[in-house]
Amino acid sequence: MTEARADGRTYDQLRPVTIEKGWSEQAEGSALISFGKTKVLCTASFTPGVPRWLKGQGKGWVTAEYAMLPRATNDRNSRESVKGKIGGRTHEISRLVGRSLRAAVDMSALGENTIVIDCDVLQADGGTRTAAITGAYVALAQSIEWAKANKHVPTKATVLTRSIAAISVGIVDGVPLLDLAYVEDVRAGTDMNVVATGDGKLIEVQGTAEGQPFDREELDRLLDIALAGTATLTELQNEALKA
Amino acid sequence: MTEARADGRTYDQLRPVTIEKGWSEQAEGSALISFGKTKVLCTASFTPGVPRWLKGQGKGWVTAEYAMLPRATNDRNSRESVKGKIGGRTHEISRLVGRSLRAAVDMSALGENTIVIDCDVLQADGGTRTAAITGAYVALAQSIEWAKANKHVPTKATVLTRSIAAISVGIVDGVPLLDLAYVEDVRAGTDMNVVATGDGKLIEVQGTAEGQPFDREELDRLLDIALAGTATLTELQNEALKA
Amino acid sequence: MTEARADGRTYDQLRPVTIEKGWSEQAEGSALISFGKTKVLCTASFTPGVPRWLKGQGKGWVTAEYAMLPRATNDRNSRESVKGKIGGRTHEISRLVGRSLRAAVDMSALGENTIVIDCDVLQADGGTRTAAITGAYVALAQSIEWAKANKHVPTKATVLTRSIAAISVGIVDGVPLLDLAYVEDVRAGTDMNVVATGDGKLIEVQGTAEGQPFDREELDRLLDIALAGTATLTELQNEALKA
Amino acid sequence: MTEARADGRTYDQLRPVTIEKGWSEQAEGSALISFGKTKVLCTASFTPGVPRWLKGQGKGWVTAEYAMLPRATNDRNSRESVKGKIGGRTHEISRLVGRSLRAAVDMSALGENTIVIDCDVLQADGGTRTAAITGAYVALAQSIEWAKANKHVPTKATVLTRSIAAISVGIVDGVPLLDLAYVEDVRAGTDMNVVATGDGKLIEVQGTAEGQPFDREELDRLLDIALAGTATLTELQNEALKA
Amino acid sequence: MTEARADGRTYDQLRPVTIEKGWSEQAEGSALISFGKTKVLCTASFTPGVPRWLKGQGKGWVTAEYAMLPRATNDRNSRESVKGKIGGRTHEISRLVGRSLRAAVDMSALGENTIVIDCDVLQADGGTRTAAITGAYVALAQSIEWAKANKHVPTKATVLTRSIAAISVGIVDGVPLLDLAYVEDVRAGTDMNVVATGDGKLIEVQGTAEGQPFDREELDRLLDIALAGTATLTELQNEALKA
Amino acid sequence: MTEARADGRTYDQLRPVTIEKGWSEQAEGSALISFGKTKVLCTASFTPGVPRWLKGQGKGWVTAEYAMLPRATNDRNSRESVKGKIGGRTHEISRLVGRSLRAAVDMSALGENTIVIDCDVLQADGGTRTAAITGAYVALAQSIEWAKANKHVPTKATVLTRSIAAISVGIVDGVPLLDLAYVEDVRAGTDMNVVATGDGKLIEVQGTAEGQPFDREELDRLLDIALAGTATLTELQNEALKA
């Protein structure tokens, strides 16, 4: 576990992370986030009102859509709009992002308002879904500030009940690694995405054996480094939000 | 934790499970599985040959499709064929079932053959994805026996490298429960699906905080009862396969 | 005409028919029907209210959707939900089932309520559309009993004005045969589906020359055995409904 | 039965029928047919080769597509291309037209060639499917002449084994009527489409009770007038083809 | 520039143009227009009311859909309804037709009414979009007369503020030509569609270099002949409308 | 014409333009271009081989897809992938971009290789299609350099025969303006997009009267300022390509 990784990182080290709040000038909240070469543009669109099935309950709604530009990857993929349907992976990640963000929001405090988070991957090098969640939180937080400043939500309402951040971990050649780049991801025997709160509790744990099954000890080691990673991301989110 | 549940089960007790191998007479493998009122018809379709992107590598392919009849649930849902698109939940579960089954198969031993598993939920009362995986394993195993009997795969090939079974667990009112029925599922604060091997290792762990975040101790308690549950399911699968 | 058929039946004999009312516990009406190996699960979903184009006229609506599981047949077919569109055959049979059932219902007596019948073929061996109609009638009748018991429809209303049942007939090697199994169907020169009332009148006659044109005498002979078949099915429906 | 109909016809009289062979100058065969105000443009597109599933069998293929211009009817309907899917009625009629035409063709004599018939309803006033079949036969016959003239098919091959024509009949106020106009069609208790050969045999009989069930005597009376109608249409087709 | 074209026309001569107002008896306005072999059926459907986004503003709406029958062309194209999506070319021309027609209408004078123009190409030999616009104007004008006669629009309202007509021009072998037939169109180096008012002003100019870029002098020469062409078309429209 | 515009520009002044070549590290060519707040990410994907319909002719193919992120605009738009179909505007612009780029390429010199250009609008403030074309040219040029460096195309081949750039112009309150921002665009009476070569010839001219028709003098004045604008853009492209 002492050997450096392809890009020189230690096993429990994040790639360089940047979070640029407000990158999109027209959205109520936005962030351009990078985990190494992975770049995701997250926007939050705040609109008064909720979908019909939720009307009259005094609660808000938060949902998310994740997508990838066709040439975000090494080889170009067909556009889902051209194919006329959304792939399973896109659906699955959109649902994960939305569910994770909803865990950070008090819907009653939000009131009958809707926030749609769009996470568009501009460049992909592994960890796009965890970068998306981490950046989406910043866009979400900015949009809630906007909503308070614009009187859509009472200034004193505690709409955000906690912060969330996400990171991928995996076992490569028997070694648990934090924040897998694409070249590591394809070699990982076990692959796990962890969404955690700012104070280290779990929102979502998705571990998958790509080759050999894993045991509970391995699960524990992966969780250890993942939670250290999300703690660092939480600090970076806070800095970005203060900027 | 000593109180009985709505249907009288203890917290770590499965619902009545039945597995009827060969229910569909025309498929190479099939099983009608029930977890209480949840009923899933699983079929395995074996065909020589593999998709184009896999040709010439001497390896097979296993994939799965999960779906629900429109009136499997308490209220009728529109058919996805009528809507013209597959929902995110369907996509996500299909991917989970396929990934789980592939973890049980040695693709080189399967050779250039394809097995498509269809899991159609005839009646839904919680736990449909875990019943689907557990029943699909039986259909898969039967189809491999068929393939050996019909000389598509060498009789001595070890195509199945392990057995797999799946179960849901969740925390309801602070109590970890095994095999949630629908009424329990909607009340669960944390919800987790666990796919495990017959010898108790992990293939897939998907835990989600529906309300409050969960901590690692809760995760551990959920895994304890889940793995006891999959051990029981493994025995029932073996009995069904011998029948 | 004295020789037995492949399965030993006489030319005017039905396959073994079973009708299990209430197979789906959650639908307002349901029936699992089998004509030999052909198995169709029929459910009736009753909901107060009618589609917008019918509102305010005091009349109800009955419609049907027919579909086949991908591995109901000897070879697997792609799912229509995956293809993103419904095939012509599915459309055509759905329309036939719906039209036939509507002929059994007094829409004014039903009042502004909607019944959606789903007929999902679990296993197909010829005659799926006629089994679907025959089973759907049982599900429909059960759902109307439910609606009366639950005060959605007046107890004394005569919602069902007649019973309906359906059977296929065809000419194979010059011999008219009742209730064609798949192997007979592919060899039939003329193929006809007949939907009839319990008292032997016609609701729908669809005869098609697959090879040679047919004449009116042949049409008459086919109708003779078809109406004898639907008379037997009517008795079996009544028994199932009493169970 | 002696009273005249809204447009002055007797009960067994066709509307004025015109058939203009070769209306489309670019198709291998074509006909603009009118049954009263109903106008259908039929084209036959002949191409060497057959679909993949038919290759190497020495047989040809004939298929048909029926569609309606959005403003063919009294009120405008949305385009199926805009809706992104084909309706059940369109599917059903396309299948009927294709099946009927195939009954007129010896596929071995056609050889490995494909003929696609398009029937586009320019104006609709009842009977569009029967006008489509009747006109399509003329377009088909012209395209086979073209194929012989252009050496795609041997001059002496008997590709067309019989002629076909189609007409609608129905029972309105207890009276069987031939060739229903739209205003009659909506009032018909029983509605039937009959496709027949030039020598009076049956290719397709599709009778539907719209209100009351019908009995076999009524079926017979409808067939009587239908076959007289198709005999007249056969003469008109022959004249058009000679023109 | 003195040589005759393939069909004997001079460089600035239109093909024979016919406009038959009221070809469709059921639409509020219609015209069958031909530019040589190109034949387009244009219908105008007038309905009271406007789309939701326009309600309450006292203004009307005009929109258009352009489409081609599958065998309008030399080779058959797949139907867009069968493909389940509309191609880019279709979309682009529909937008052009709608935009051009809207330029002829005073939406306030139209009031809260909608006119949908359908342009269906029955036969295509170049210039289908310009024939569509030119014919659509006639259908539009007829539908406005209908609306006045039927009291949907005040008789004195000036709904049509100007007439419009359209023509294609192009440079073939260095020579600017008017109203390109298909064989000329495929050889054109520059291709331009011009929509103009009856008094010679421009509504839409779309010039495209298919091979070599063009200069402003060439643009001017093309506009010269195009405007002479639209002036002639304007006269023919007026004659058709008077008929 | 001496008054400043909302953002202080003169009538014939471009917004600040930046072109960042190689913004996407994984594509063969790329450029992030901004015209004021409008930001478009253009990538060029080079792949050996051509579509089937072009094989064996020794020629290459260039095509383009334009799209907008859902929150590129002031209000969020639904994703076209979610709607399952591409809108007319997207189709139209994709076709314009592709056609314009093809006018810059010698397909024989490119050889049997394909370049797909993706133009994704990250932020929209008017002029997205002209920014897309101008940036796409830079991505295209970079990808051709890449192809030469990687021996897919001979180093000496003149694949790019000319440079292209595009700009919008329009008449606002009677004044012709260059490079309209969104607030100007919505007020423009005439709107025109001009694609020109580096030496001032025309590739595409698309002028549309949004309100009043325009005359040829106005067309000339718009072309004057447009061509001055594209000349400036050509210089900026050259600088970016040298960087």
Predicted confidence (pLDDT) per residue in E206-228, tens digit: 999 987 899 999 999 999 999 99
**Residue C25: its chain B contacts at CB < 8 A?**
37, 123
Residue D226 to residue D176: CA distance in whole angstroms: 10
> Beta strand pairing status for F38-48 and F61-68?
unpaired
Would you say residue B4 lies in a domain? no
Mean pLDDT over each residue of chain E, to the nearest integer? 95
Domain harbouring C167, CATH code: 3.30.230.70
Averaged pLDDT for residues E36-52: 97
Residue F87 to residue E92: CA distance in whole angstroms: 10
Would you say residue A9 lies in a domain? no
Show the low-confidence residues of chain B (pLDDT under 50).
Answer: 1
Would you say residue B96 lies in a domain? yes
Amino acid at C181: A
Whether residue A214 and residue B201 make contact (CB cut-off 8 A), yes or no, is: yes
Contact residues, chain F to chain A, C-beta under 8 Å: 24-27, 30, 37, 41, 43, 45, 47, 65, 67, 69-76, 79-86, 90, 116, 118, 120, 122-123
Q: How many domains would you assign to chain F?
A: 1
Residue D114 pairs in a beta bridge with D47, D61
Per 3-state DSSP, chain D is made up of helix, strand and coil in percentages (nearest 5) of 35, 30, 35
Q: Which two tokens stand for residue C150?
A: 């639950």
User: Quick check: helix, strand or coil at residue D205?
Assistant: strand
Q: Which two tokens stand for residue C196?
A: 């009839």
Residue A212 pairs in a beta bridge with none
**Residue B72: its chain C contacts at CB < 8 A?**
24, 26
pLDDT of residue D6: 86
Residue F48 pairs in a beta bridge with F113
Would you say residue A6 lies in a domain? no
Answer yes or no: is E216 a known binding residue: no
pLDDT of residue C128: 98
Q: Which of B86, B122, B123 is closest, CB to CB, to C81? A: B86
Would you say residue F193 lies in a domain? yes
pLDDT of residue F210: 83
Amino acid at D199: D
Would you say residue D117 lies in a domain? yes
Positions of E strands within chain B:
17-21, 29-35, 38-48, 61-68, 113-123, 164-172, 175-178, 190-197, 202-209
Would you say residue A11 lies in a domain? no
pLDDT of residue B202: 98
Q: Which two tokens stand for residue F186?
A: 């919505």
Predicted confidence (pLDDT) per residue in F30-81, tens digit: 999 999 999 999 999 999 999 999 999 999 999 999 999 999 999 999 999 9
Helix ranges restricted to H, chain E:
80-83, 88-102, 107-110, 128-149, 182-185, 216-242
Contact residues, chain D to chain E, C-beta under 8 Å: 24-27, 30, 37, 41, 43, 45, 47, 65, 67, 69-76, 79-86, 90, 116, 118, 120, 122-123
Predicted confidence (pLDDT) per residue in F141-157, tens digit: 999 999 999 999 999 99
Predicted confidence (pLDDT) per residue in F124-133, tens digit: 999 999 999 9
Residue D137 to chain E, least CA–CA distance (Å): 17
Residue C18 pairs in a beta bridge with C34
State CA E31 to chain mean position distance: 11
Q: Which of B26, B71, B79 is closest, CB to CB, to C24? A: B71
Q: Which residues of E39-76 are buried (b: 16+ CB within 10 A; e: fewer)?
A: bbbbbbbbeeebeeeeeeeebbbbbbbbbbbbbbbeeb
Closest residue in F to A70 (Cα) is F118
Whether residue F43 and residue A71 make contact (CB cut-off 8 A), yes or no, is: yes
**Residue F72: its chain A contacts at CB < 8 A?**
24, 26
Residue C41 pairs in a beta bridge with C32, C120
Predicted confidence (pLDDT) per residue in C199-242, tens digit: 999 999 999 998 789 999 999 999 999 999 999 999 999 999 99
Q: Is C82 exposed, middle or buried (0-12, 13-18, 19+ CB in 10 A)?
A: middle
Q: pLDDT per position in chain A (243 positions), as tens?
A: 456 798 999 999 999 999 999 999 999 999 999 999 999 999 999 999 999 999 999 999 999 999 999 999 999 999 999 998 899 999 999 999 999 999 999 999 999 999 999 999 999 999 999 999 999 999 999 999 999 999 999 999 999 999 999 999 999 999 999 999 999 999 998 999 999 999 999 999 999 998 789 999 999 999 999 999 999 999 999 999 998
From the list B207, E22, C86, the residue with the least C-alpha distance to A219 is B207
**Residue F208: its chain E contacts at CB < 8 A?**
99, 203-204
Residue A30 to residue A51: CA distance in whole angstroms: 22
Are E28 and E147 within 8 A, CB to CB? yes
Among C161-165, D82-86, E89-93, E221-225, whose mean pLDDT is lowest? D82-86
| CA distances from residue D204 to A117, C133, D213 in whole angstroms, order as listed | 56, 21, 20
pLDDT of residue C3: 60
Domain of A198, in residue numbers: 17-242
| CA distances from residue C60 to C112, F161, F224 in whole angstroms, order as listed | 4, 69, 67
Predicted confidence (pLDDT) per residue in E62-102, tens digit: 999 999 999 999 999 999 999 888 999 999 999 999 999 99
